[in-house]
Amino acid sequence: MATCEMCGYNREVVDAIVEGATMSVCLECSKFGHVIPINQPVVDKKIERADESIKPQLDSVDVIVDNYNDRIKKAREKKGLKQEDLAKAIAERVSVIHQLESKKLKPSFKLSKKLSVFLNIDLITSSEQKNPAKPKDVDFKDNSLTIGDMLKSDEEE
Ligand SMILES: [Zn+2]
């Protein structure tokens, strides 16, 4: 029981939006004009596909971390698993695990992801590519630039 914010009676109230404001009103008042029950399902047809569409187009590439063998081995041992156990768990051959841990085999991205998920480790990292793309625009009005600087930026192209 609470006080209806519209009529002031002490009754059973429901939350409703009255002309833009959230109010607690009694069932009687909720029947009037501008009262919209809050519990009405809000249908939002926009389906967000964050992981696919908002992939940043940066100059970076995904690479397998260099010490993948250590990470795999440590994570596996932490879980108390044998190489055989890990192999079974991710549906790979034991020889694959063995080669991974002795750094004889670099995992594919697919395999890395499986291992990452199962062992809860990061095996894929984003490495920024050296991008020599745009040489600095040489501003001839800029007195701080010496002839040497200009020649240098030409060379870099
Ligand atoms: Zn009321």
What's the CATH code of the domain at 65? Answer: 1.10.260.40
79 in any annotated domain: yes
75 in any annotated domain: yes
Asked if 53 contacts 47 with a C-beta cutoff of 8 angstroms, the reply is no
Ligand 1 centroid to 41 CA: how many Å? Answer: 23
55 in any annotated domain: no
Shared domain check, 122 and 66 = yes
What mean pLDDT value characterizes the chain? 78
104 in any annotated domain: yes
Ligand 1 centroid to 37 CA: how many Å? Answer: 14
Ligand 1 centroid to 155 CA: how many Å? Answer: 81
pLDDT on residue 38:
55
Q: Distance between CA atoms of 131 and 152, rounded to whole angstroms? A: 17
Shared domain check, 80 and 21 = no
Task: Lowest mean pLDDT of 3-7, 78-82, 84-88, 117-121, name the range.
Answer: 3-7
Ligand 1 centroid to 49 CA: how many Å? Answer: 43
pLDDT on residue 62:
86
Q: How many domains does the chain have?
A: 2
65 in any annotated domain: yes
Q: In terms of pLDDT, which residue wins out, 9 or 155?
A: 9
DSSP 24-71: EEEHHHHTSTTEEETTSPP---PPP-HHHHT----SEEEEE-TTHHHH
Shared domain check, 66 and 19 = no
Ligand 1 centroid to 38 CA: how many Å? Answer: 16
- The residue segments making up the domain with residue 106 are 60-128
Q: Distance between CA atoms of 127 and 33, rounded to whole angstroms? A: 60
Ligand 1 centroid to 26 CA: how many Å? Answer: 4
Residue 136 is encoded by which pair of tokens?
């600095």
Shared domain check, 119 and 66 = yes
Ligand 1 centroid to 40 CA: how many Å? Answer: 20
Residue 96 has pLDDT above 70, yes or no: yes
Half-sphere exposure of 124 (CA within 13 A, CB side): 14
Ligand 1 centroid to 4 CA: how many Å? Answer: 5
89 in any annotated domain: yes
6 in any annotated domain: yes
Q: Distance between CA atoms of 100 and 105, rounded to whole angstroms? A: 5
Shared domain check, 65 and 29 = no
Ligand 1 centroid to 39 CA: how many Å? Answer: 18
- CA dihedral (80, 83, 88, 89) positive or negative: positive
Ligand 1 centroid to 13 CA: how many Å? Answer: 8
139 in any annotated domain: no
Q: What's the pTM?
A: 0.46
